[in-house]
Structure 1
Amino acid sequence: MDTTPRETPLNPLHRLTLEQLRRRTSMKWRTYPRDVLPLWVAEMDVPLAEPVARALTDAVALGDTGYPVGTAYAEALAGFAGKRWGWEGLEVGRTAIVPDVMMGVVEMLKLVSGPGDAVVVNSPVYTPFYQFVGNADRVVVEAPLTEEGRIDPGVLEETFSRVRAGGGRPVYLLCSPHNPTGTLHTAAELASVAELARAYGVRVVADEIHAPIVAAGARFVPYLSVPGARDGLSLMSASKAWNLAGLKAAVAVAGPEAGADLARLPEEVSHGPSHLGVIAHTAALRDGGDWLDAVLAGLDDNRRLLTRLLAEHLPGVRYAPARATYLAWLDCRALDLGDDPAGVFLERGRVALSSGPAFGTGGAGHVRLNLATSPEILTEAVRRMASAVG
């Protein structure tokens, strides 16, 4: 990671005070009592990007609040992918709008698997993977990451072999970049995934919602851009990078050999996204690049800040700054706080973090911390965490 400090006077992470944030009514700020600092759920403490706010204001002024239609979102995503990732392979004709990424994942599972089929995940992994896959009447099978948080090809191959032997139509639900670890998968790693999936007849569905959020000097690699991934399906969205979770919309993207699968998506699914959400996401991808760059610079600063704060106040916590996402995966096992340190930090320190065990195998003794906040709030949160174990 680039360690050169960057001055970001317009950094959105510096714009809102704690009192302003406490006026919000979303999940992050209303789940816990007022005395708790919430650094858990994936919401950013930022004002709305000006191009997004302008697009929404214009739509409301026109009364443009009907049903979504068209390919503007996919076109904006394709332009962003070419500019940011050097990927020109996002074919708008092989896309569909879906309500959000997780609902899109469920719809993709319906297209390429059946009830009772296995869905392989790399634990520890985003908690809703377990919930949504189970509710879709599929069976989660874990292929744990390495201790360093990377995909283990040997473990993945053994798991693919096992689920293929079990029959049905197995799927690999890839989280890229990975949540909660922030791991940015390399092109070589993703190509290996595609090769193994081909060899064992496993279909790949990629959740790439955090794709725009990378550290300085890093570049996201779309799964569908690597050799062998032609029958893959991907879900992408502007929601995480521009803090648009309340404006529901995402794009499903099919590889060249998966277009026929995506074409079977029921038409009513495309009625699920919010029309205002589609407008907002499109504006973010087309015109929100400068705003995003300011946020990315602020996140780099916060990663460095968290490293210093932990070294000073909680040296027993292991933390490796991630190359992607705005999440920090903290190994607290040396603190002897049990399997769920988040409970201790909440009760004794009044800091809300995401509970490690909820992310599956490999999560015990860990917490996930949301870095997308002001340096002042981050500093106070670590101070409180230290007081909880002192």
Structure 2
Amino acid sequence: MPREADPLRRLSLEQLRQRTSMKWRTYPEDVLPLWVAEMDVPLAEPVARAITEAVALGDTGYPAGTAYAEALAGFARERWGWDGLAVERTAIVPDVMLGIVEMLKLVSGPSEPVVVNSPVYPPFYQFVGNLGRPVVEAPLGADGRIDFAVLEGAFREVAAHANQPVYLLCSPHNPTGTVHTADELTRVALLARTYGVRVVADEIHAPIVAAGASFVPYLSVPGGENGLSLMSASKAWNLAGLKAALAIAGPDAADDLARLPEEVSHGPSHVGIIAHTAALRDGGDWLDAVLSGLDDNRQLLADLLAEHLPGVRYAPAQATYLAWLDCRDLGLGDDPAAVFLERGRVALSSGTDFGTGGAGFVRLNLATSPELITEAVRRMAAAIRAAS
């Protein structure tokens, strides 16, 4: 079978500007948006077909059944060699972040602390804070990996003052793209058991790994049996507008998940579940084409930065379609994204939004065409010249 064409190369800038989603409508038309986690791709054909067939049938009612969980279990076996995703220990939730909120309600009480590894996905602060839980940071090491001395210190701190502390693990990590190893996750589980900390894992980027990297589900490692995970097809197949995610419990967390209020399952879209199911079940070839294109884009960005912005430090990530750029040597202050927007008309995510360790960084979305990445770097370099 011929390899599927790279979906990242199929849409022109003119086509993309017709979109009405957040990425393309937040900023004026002269701004090139490489910020929020949307991909510049057409829908995978199996997903588009499943949606149009549902619409043709008028199959737009309430969600039912376990097809989504079964598709994810099959994907986990094929891609990660993990057969421990038990369909009976899953529940559909509206999306990953709202699912995280529900998991925190299940395993912790009001005002109980939540540990995160900063710099980390900004909604971790927003959603956890809005739930009334204080966020305790355990910053990553300089290498972008978990600093276990720091993590243990945070666990010791929260265990001394709380009855039900939680560790909200981002795996793969956003924004650094770090893929936690089996050994690292096993150490996490051991520390969590030692200090009585429950682990809730955001694994939304799990399908998006670079060549040579391997994702390890937290629930698959020794000691992870009482963990809870949130997964979705939304990032890997660009389905954020079709709401659906899955909460997954380890064997020792089954009773916790069983207490999830029934009305939570009313939040996901039935058409969304159909789309996510089709993606996981039939969208593998399309995903592989995207992954190959992302590998190319990571190298392209590295080459462009070396040529035009050598003051930016960048190491291609093992996962996600996000690039975490260290701009501290450019002399642009804590928020270089503001300079790139004002002077270069390119929108990136501000590192300051990601908590401690984010100042002086920007996050760039690589899930677009090589032409737009090239233009973004050209604009960023022009912004530096204009600021000097």
TM-score (norm 2): 0.98
CA distance in 2, matches of 1:69, 1:367: 41
Is the 8 Å Cα contact of residues 193 and 223 (structure 2) preserved in structure 1? Answer: yes
What is residue 224 of structure 1 aligned with on the other side? 219
Query: Shift of residue 69 of structure 1?
Result: 1.1
Is the 8 Å Cα contact of residues 4 and 285 (structure 2) preserved in structure 1? Answer: no
CA distance in 1, matches of 2:255, 2:345: 51
Q: Deviations over 1:292-347 (max 9, x none)?
A: 00000000000000000000000000000000000000000000000000000000
What is residue 299 of structure 1 aligned with on the other side? 294
> Residues 1-390 of structure 1: matches in 2 within 5 Å?
10-390=5-385
Q: 1:126 to 1:40 in 2, by over 3 A?
A: same
Is the 8 Å Cα contact of residues 73 and 86 (structure 2) preserved in structure 1? Answer: yes
Is the 8 Å Cα contact of residues 337 and 349 (structure 2) preserved in structure 1? Answer: yes
CA distance in 1, matches of 2:129, 2:35: 23
CA distance in 2, matches of 1:365, 1:312: 20
CA distance in 2, matches of 1:316, 1:367: 13
SS at match of 2:251: coil
Q: Deviations over 1:339-362 (max 9, x none)?
A: 000000000000000000000000
SS at match of 1:20: helix
- Please tell me the residue identity of whatever aligns with 1:31: T
SS at match of 2:174: coil
SS at match of 2:234: coil
Q: Deviations over 1:61-87 (max 9, x none)?
A: 000000111110000000000000000
Query: Shift of residue 8 of structure 1?
Result: 6.6
Query: Shift of residue 59 of structure 1?
Result: 0.1
SS at match of 1:241: helix
Is the 8 Å Cα contact of residues 17 and 24 (structure 2) preserved in structure 1? Answer: yes
CA distance in 1, matches of 2:115, 2:210: 28
CA distance in 2, matches of 1:8, 1:338: 45
CA distance in 1, matches of 2:348, 2:242: 24
Q: Please, what is the CA RMSD of the aligned residues?
A: 0.8
CA distance in 2, matches of 1:226, 1:374: 37
Query: Shift of residue 167 of structure 1?
Result: 2.0
Is the 8 Å Cα contact of residues 230 and 245 (structure 2) preserved in structure 1? Answer: yes
Is the 8 Å Cα contact of residues 4 and 286 (structure 2) preserved in structure 1? Answer: no
SS at match of 2:183: helix
CA distance in 2, matches of 1:378, 1:9: 22
Q: Percent identity?
A: 81
Query: Shift of residue 9 of structure 1?
Result: 6.5
SS at match of 1:205: strand
SS at match of 1:257: helix
Is the 8 Å Cα contact of residues 8 and 298 (structure 1) preserved in structure 2? Answer: no
Query: Shift of residue 168 of structure 1?
Result: 2.5
Q: Deviations over 1:219-267 (max 9, x none)?
A: 1000000000000000000000000000000000000000000000000
Q: Deviations over 1:104-138 (max 9, x none)?
A: 00000000001110000000000000000011111
CA distance in 1, matches of 2:248, 2:242: 20
Is the 8 Å Cα contact of residues 59 and 65 (structure 1) preserved in structure 2? Answer: yes
TM-score (norm 1): 0.98
CA distance in 1, matches of 2:4, 2:362: 31
CA distance in 2, matches of 1:379, 1:167: 49
SS at match of 1:46: coil
What is residue 3 of structure 1 aligned with on the other side? none
SS at match of 1:240: helix
CA distance in 2, matches of 1:167, 1:116: 9
How many residue pairs are counted as aligned between the two chains?
384
